A and B are shown apart, each in its own frame.
Chain A
Amino acid sequence: MSGLGEADQKELQAFLDAEQAKARVQSSIHTFTDRCWDQCITSSIGARFGRGEEACLSNCVERFLDTSLFIVKKLEEQRGQ
């Protein structure tokens, strides 16, 4: 990165951090889509999603995150005892 001043380097670093955060989010979304597809799209593929499949995909993401938060909370409680 030669030839760039300190302000430019700082700006680039901030840009790279933001892109890295974006990459992490995209990677989570791929993982969720993979997991939730297997769990929710169980019947044969139609021209559109069947009843319940769309809601299942959304619930799958929400409940996974709930599970993750719940486990963290439980472990924190146990540690406090």
Chain B
Amino acid sequence: MDFSALSGVKGANAAEKKEAIKQQVSSELAMANAQQLITKATEKCYTKCVTSPGSSLSSKEETCITRCLERYFEAFNIVSSTYVRRVSNERNSVTNNMI
């Protein structure tokens, strides 16, 4: 991660510097996450929708890609909530066993 831009923050006090670093880290993580999602969705939807590539995308292919993108985001959200719920359940049961 590149913090070089931050060292040049003139007159910034420690609290401002700290906040600037936090914000940069959070936004870079969010960006990396979004890029990963777009890359995966492109792969999956190309495979699903463009089965025999022609000289341009047909309107049928475009409709399929639009829907596929929505479904992929939906799938990501289902997986995400299932995973988070499961991990928090496991953590609770481990804590209970230790008590």
Contact = CB atoms under 8 A, between A and B. Distances in A.
A41 B17 contact: no
Interface residues of A, number: 39
A46 interface: yes
Interface string A46-79: 1111000010011011100100000000000000
B57 interface: no
B64 A19 contact: no
Nearest to A47: B67
A49 B71 contact: yes
Interface in B22-76: 22, 25-26, 29, 32-33, 36-37, 40, 44-45, 48-49, 64, 67-68, 71-72, 74-76
B42 to A, nearest CB: 12
Instruction: Indicate the size class of the contact surface on chain B.
Output: 35 or more
Contacts, number: 93
Most B C-beta atoms less than 10 A away, residue of A32, A45, A54, A60: A45
Interface of B: 3, 7, 14-15, 17-18, 21-22, 25-26, 29, 32-33, 36-37, 40, 44-45, 48-49, 64, 67-68, 71-72, 74-76, 78-80, 82-84, 86-87, 90
